[in-house]
Structure 1
Amino acid sequence: MKRLRRVLRVFAVILLVLLAVALVVTGWWGSGHLVSPNRRPLQDYHREILAQPPEFGLKVEPFTAADQTPCLLVTGTREPGKAEKGRLLRGELQHRGVTVPPWGTQLGTIVMFYGHGGRKEDHLPICERFCAAGFRCLLLDIPGQGDHPATFGSFGLNESKLAGQVLAEATTRFKFPPSPALLFGISQGGAIALQAAACEPAKWTAVASVSTFASLDRPVFRSAEELLPHSLHFCCPVAAFSVGCGARLRAGFWPADVRPVAAAAKLHMPVMIAHGDHDPYIDIDQAKEIFAAVPDHRKQFRVVKGGDHNRVLSTGSLALYADLSQFFLKSLEPDPSPAAIERTE
């Protein structure tokens, strides 16, 4: 009996050691994917647009910022080609009674941030819509992703001033006014956009965020639940903590440090929050928390019916793009509220 107990103890110790090793490996691998995901190459649809941008109603001008951030300035053309997406968007806005500016008009600049594991060219189809609505678009790769030379990203903690820096360089290089300037982002990009707006509010007119988390530790925990079998879900808190330790060692931050909901509480500007109601990765309650935190009365909340995390834009499609474009156009108008008049005086 003593021998059996001894064997069982040894067996239990081995299991605990193996579990600890597995959690350490999981944390290190998970943190690597978090702060430096696999870099996606150019896709066929990227190449198609870049090969003949006028056919899509666009002019695309690449440049590299002083800190080596790769960028694209995308503007609309006065005489677009087929431009199917842009024409559909303009038609929907006109159907709503929105005054649409002539093709090629540049009423302001939208700085755009993509989702985790993406690259700046992912936003080219979105630019087709925004440029058709009268905006120029500024796309940039963020640290740890796309063609950016930096190894690790921080979900906006260190990138919050990047939008303003790149915008300032672009205005000098291409000789256009620095305002009005607006921010757009999806998922991770939405988190960066909200933090950028809160970091330098004087630079930004409005911000729109799609499918964004309230605090980064929550999707990290959700990822642990997806990675581990159901029988090991009791290990999720430890696994998530292990990923957090890895992020701290690699990139110098804890996931709980990234809190777009806290940034939202500082935004005294028009804010649009959109989220799919079938998002299994970032639940819609997080979007509601962000929206509730925004103090400005010009905020809007948009539920994308049937939208999950990865296909929320394609699910919302024409109506969602029209809502976003209409929101940006509306944000250019003066705020008629008594509070705004009092602040102006």
Structure 2
Amino acid sequence: MLISILVATVALFVIGVLALAVSAGPIILLHPQRCTPEGLRKSGKRAYPDDLSLPSEPFIVQTQDNLTLRGWIIPPCAVSGGNRAHRGTVIFLHGVGECKSQGLPLANLLFKNGYTTVLVDFRAHGESDGDICTYGYREKDDLRRIIDELELRVGSVQPLVLMGISMGAAIALQTAAIEPRIKGVIAEASFIDLKTAVLEYEYKTIRLRSRLLQTIILRRAERYANFSAEEVSPLSAVRKIGVPILFIHGTDDPRVPYKASELLFQHAAGPKELFVVQGAHHTDVWKVAGTEYEQRLLRFLEKISA
């Protein structure tokens, strides 16, 4: 009798967890938690360019569906005579639930080395409009609009490189597959496709990898947001990219296994490098690798700008 009660209790608990995952999964997927520079500053973090004594200009872009994206343009440091050396432009692409402030350490590094840095909040993130995130399905078109506006604002942006972390890396790869103005990509901790990312998230939250649950969550999300999860695939994108790609990943990443970057590296069609950092987790690769991380980034950029 007691065993029957225990079995029934466990079964009800599992059913409850699965029901919650089915109902909440699409909401969590499409509506990430929003952080803003203002919120980060209130928590004591450096969140604006002036927190690092960096010059900046506001940057606003209208998307195809009339959302406003907000960001900053950070020019390189002035050299002799007050002129600014321009070795190229890097657009930084933040991760899910993050905002443009995530790119400030990179902007600080690039500022000192002659590169213009552009930091923009994706739709449904930071200070930008929108409340639905599609992990590249619409964001890659937003990014092309960003490049259009950047060319109007500053003229020459070449050579143009995308650097993204996590979701930002996935969007960078998807965009580079369709945008010829991009001359290089730095992709840190990208997932291989949205379907696999959802499976990994399932395991992280409920310790279960269920293809059925994955399918239900994605189908509900697709209907709600009117997009195709099948098309969100950095793995398909890298096969079409002919420009150099630097893949970066930490071996102890609990969110996106580093094998994802190894697989992307194997399938990339163009010139490619893979930088795996032992002991690094998700988004802390720079902290773990230190100056080696900076040197790898700058060497990669120098090859493109040469």
Counterpart of 2:249 in structure 1 is 275
Counterpart of 2:197 in structure 1 is 219
Q: RMSD over aligned Cα, in angstroms?
A: 2.7
Q: Residue 325 in 1 paired to residue 298 in 2?
A: yes
Q: Residue 165 in 1 paired to residue 142 in 2?
A: no
Q: Relative to 1, partners in 2 of residues 1:136 and 1:46: Cα closer, same or farther, differing over 3 Å?
A: farther
Identity across the alignment (%): 23
Question: 1:254 Cα shift?
Answer: 5.2
Instruction: Tell me how far apart the structure 2 counterparts of residues 192 and 310 of structure 1 sit (CA, whole Å).
Output: 16
Instruction: Tell me how far apart the structure 2 counterparts of residues 238 and 17 of structure 1 sit (CA, whole Å).
Output: 18
Name the SS for the 1:208 alignment partner: strand
In the TM superposition, 1:70-85 aligns within 5 A as: 70-78=70-78
Q: 2:162 aligns with which of 172, 183, 186?
A: 183
Name the SS for the 2:55 alignment partner: strand
Question: 1:31 Cα shift?
Answer: 2.1
Q: 1:198 aligns with which of 177, 198, 210?
A: 177
* Contact 2:251 2:279 (C-alpha < 8 Å) held by counterparts: yes
* Contact 2:98 2:126 (C-alpha < 8 Å) held by counterparts: yes
Name the SS for the 1:76 alignment partner: coil
Name the SS for the 2:139 alignment partner: coil
Instruction: Tell me how far apart the structure 1 counterparts of residues 303 and 164 of structure 2 sit (CA, whole Å).
Output: 18
Q: Relative to 1, partners in 2 of residues 1:284 and 1:74: Cα closer, same or farther, differing over 3 Å?
A: same
Q: 2:273 aligns with which of 300, 306, 309?
A: 300
* Contact 1:210 1:275 (C-alpha < 8 Å) held by counterparts: yes
Q: Relative to 1, partners in 2 of residues 1:31 and 1:48: Cα closer, same or farther, differing over 3 Å?
A: closer
* Contact 1:36 1:145 (C-alpha < 8 Å) held by counterparts: no
Counterpart of 2:220 in structure 1 is 246
Question: 1:16 Cα shift?
Answer: 6.7
* Contact 2:166 2:188 (C-alpha < 8 Å) held by counterparts: yes
The one-letter amino acid paired with 1:251 is: A
The one-letter amino acid paired with 2:163 is: F
Question: 1:196 Cα shift?
Answer: 0.6
* Contact 1:144 1:151 (C-alpha < 8 Å) held by counterparts: yes
Q: 2:286 aligns with which of 313, 322, 327?
A: 313
* Contact 1:103 1:134 (C-alpha < 8 Å) held by counterparts: no
The one-letter amino acid paired with 1:138 is: V
User: Which of 36-45 and 110-119 deviates more?
Assistant: 36-45
The one-letter amino acid paired with 2:267 is: A
The one-letter amino acid paired with 1:215 is: D
Q: 2:56 aligns with which of 56, 60, 85?
A: 60
* Contact 1:217 1:256 (C-alpha < 8 Å) held by counterparts: yes
In the TM superposition, 1:88-107 aligns within 5 A as: 104-107=84-87
Q: 1:117 aligns with which of 94, 97, 100?
A: 97
Instruction: Tell me how far apart the structure 2 counterparts of residues 132 and 305 of structure 1 sit (CA, whole Å).
Output: 28
Larger Rg computed on CA atoms: 1
Name the SS for the 1:160 alignment partner: helix
* Contact 2:89 2:161 (C-alpha < 8 Å) held by counterparts: yes
In structure 2, runs of 5+ residues without a counterpart are none
1:148-183 CA-to-partner distances (Å, cap 9, x unmatched) read: 21111111111112222112212212x331422111
Q: Relative to 1, partners in 2 of residues 1:276 and 1:47: Cα closer, same or farther, differing over 3 Å?
A: closer
Q: Residue 236 in 1 paired to residue 217 in 2?
A: no
Q: Relative to 1, partners in 2 of residues 1:321 and 1:33: Cα closer, same or farther, differing over 3 Å?
A: farther
Question: 1:18 Cα shift?
Answer: 7.0
Q: Residue 208 in 1 paired to residue 186 in 2?
A: yes
Name the SS for the 1:110 alignment partner: strand
User: Which of 108-117 and 157-166 deviates more?
Assistant: 157-166
Number of aligned residue pairs: give it.
294
Name the SS for the 1:245 alignment partner: helix
Name the SS for the 1:161 alignment partner: helix
Counterpart of 1:29 in structure 2 is 24
Question: 1:193 Cα shift?
Answer: 0.2
Counterpart of 1:141 in structure 2 is 121
* Contact 2:34 2:126 (C-alpha < 8 Å) held by counterparts: yes
